[in-house]
């Protein structure tokens, strides 16, 4: 008995068929996300080949043609970080985006931390125990 996930034309079935096409073309699934509605499949993230290679224009064209000719295929929309792909008057326009150079966030920059005091582990544990006892007293615990 077929469930809602196997029903032809369901979004789950469409997502499954899209994944089969992506795998057949060697797409790195860890970098690309997709979601299907009843009328459209949306792609977002980074479109690269396994493990981390770029597509050629011809291999990308072949991938898109397979997605378009998939049975029960909805419309396809792309919002990718590394490719501009759009459909204009029945043909696909594919252009490679230039990488965006951004400054590393402050958390990613290397920094030096200087610790000026030396504490013995037993002193730290003793202080923690004192704090715990004083917190218990404030809450009425003994």
Q: Domain residue spans in the chain?
A: 11-96, 107-138
The per-residue pLDDT for 1 is 41
Task: Look at the pTM and tell me if it is higher than 0.75.
Answer: no
Residue with tokens 């011809």: 58
29 close to 23: Cβ distance less than 8 angstroms: yes
The per-residue pLDDT for 25 is 96
- From the list 35, 38, 56, 39, the residue with the least C-alpha distance to 47 is 56
**Residue 83 φ then ψ, to 5°:** -140, 145
The per-residue pLDDT for 69 is 87
Portion of the chain with pLDDT greater than 70, in percent: 75
pLDDT tens per residue, range 52-65: 788 999 999 999 99
pLDDT tens per residue, range 87-127: 877 788 999 988 766 665 666 667 676 666 677 778 778 88
The per-residue pLDDT for 126 is 84
- pLDDT mean across residues, the chain: 81
The whole-number average pLDDT for the span 8-22 is 86
Q: Cβ atoms within 10 A of the Cβ of 70, count?
A: 16
């Amino acid at each position: 008995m077929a469930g809602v996930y196997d029903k032809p034309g369901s979004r789950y079935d469409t997502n499954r068929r899209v994944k089969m096409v992506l795998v057949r073309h060697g797409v790195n699934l860890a970098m690309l996300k997709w979601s299907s509605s009843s009328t459209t499949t949306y792609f977002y993230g980074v479109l690269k080949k396994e493990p981390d290679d770029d597509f050629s224009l011809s291999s990308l064209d072949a991938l898109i043609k397979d997605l378009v000719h998939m049975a029960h295929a909805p419309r396809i929309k792309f919002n990718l970080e590394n490719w501009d792909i759009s459909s204009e008057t029945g043909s696909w326009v594919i252009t490679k985006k230039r990488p965006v150079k951004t400054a590393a966030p402050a958390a990613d920059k290397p920094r030096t931390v200087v610790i000026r005091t030396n504490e013995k582990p037993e002193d730290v544990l003793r202080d923690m125990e004192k704090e715990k006892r004083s917190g218990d007293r404030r809450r009425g615990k003994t």
